[in-house]
A and B are shown apart, each in its own frame.
Chain A
Amino acid sequence: DTGVSQNPRHKITKRGQNVTFRCDPISEHNRLYWYRQTLGQGPEFLTYFQNEAQLEKSRLLSDRFSAERPKGSFSTLEIQRTEQGDSAMYLCASWEIRSNSPLHFGNGTRLTVT
């Protein structure tokens, strides 16, 4: 169990650029979640997958955001035409539906849009 891995850890980009983050969940965890945390707030749910199927998207996920989990393993979160309001910590978490364990979070990707 190597934990949930997220890359990159930090990303600085200019407004209007596209960025992509990657999340590698704990192996064999079939659920994968994306959350966003801004300063002074708790993590907010963005979307989740069961295997390769995206089952729910928050209204926070505007059409500039897209998430994929093509083979039911790693996931990517892309933000197109970034805005300064997108600056946040993007957290990935995974979970095995048959287990009694809670969500395991990665260390996040810190995005700064200048």
Chain B
Amino acid sequence: DQQVKQNSPSLSVQEGRISILNCDYTNSMFDYFLWYKKYPAEGPTFLISISSIKDKNEDGRFTVFLNKSAKHLSLHIVPSQPGDSAVYFCAASAISGGSNYKLTFGKGTLLTVNP
């Protein structure tokens, strides 16, 4: 039973355009969400996060939107750059239930930004 789902295994966009990566979750106890980026042969690198008390968080070219009623979040990258090409993982945690910070990850979306 996958609690965090990334239904698009891959996404290809042109440089300069917007990349939108989607994530759905089923566990209503999740209250903290993160996006990690991963290059081959490296560990995941933190990108941006959002708490369930917010519906939007922005950091430079990266914006995460959270729709709690739909149990859906998305990551927007504007403008997309070739260096953004990587696998993006959505992750969730139930922080308020105890600070164990155990993350549940989706399967990832491979983003390719074409020059």
Chain A interface (Cβ < 8 Å from any Cβ of B): 4, 6, 31, 33, 40-45, 48, 55-56, 91, 93, 95, 97, 101-108, 110
Contacts and interface: CB of A to CB of B under 8 A. Distances in A.
Interface string B63-103: 00000000000000000000000000101000000011111
A33 B102 contact: yes
Contact of B45 (A41, A45, A97, A105): A105
A40 B107 contact: yes
8 contacts: A6-B43, A42-B89, A43-B105, A102-B46, A103-B103, A107-B43, A108-B42, A110-B41
Given A104-B46, A107-B42, A107-B43, A44 B100 contact: no
Contact of A91 (B4, B43, B100): B43
Interface of B: 4, 6, 34, 36, 41-46, 49, 89, 91, 99-108
Contact of A102 (B4, B49, B102, B106): B49
Contacts of A45: 102-104
A56 B102 CA distance: 10
Contact of A42 (B49, B100, B106): B106
A40 B106 CA distance: 10
A44 B43 contact: no
B102 to A, nearest CB: 5
A43 B44 contact: yes
Contacts of A91: 43-44
A110 B105 CA distance: 19
B89 A55 contact: no
Contacts of A31: 101
A97 B30 CA distance: 18
Nearest to B46: A102
A4 B43 contact: yes
Contacts of B103: 43, 45, 103
A91 B44 CA distance: 9
B100 A56 contact: yes
Contacts of B108: 42
B40 to A, nearest CB: 11
A6 B41 CA distance: 12
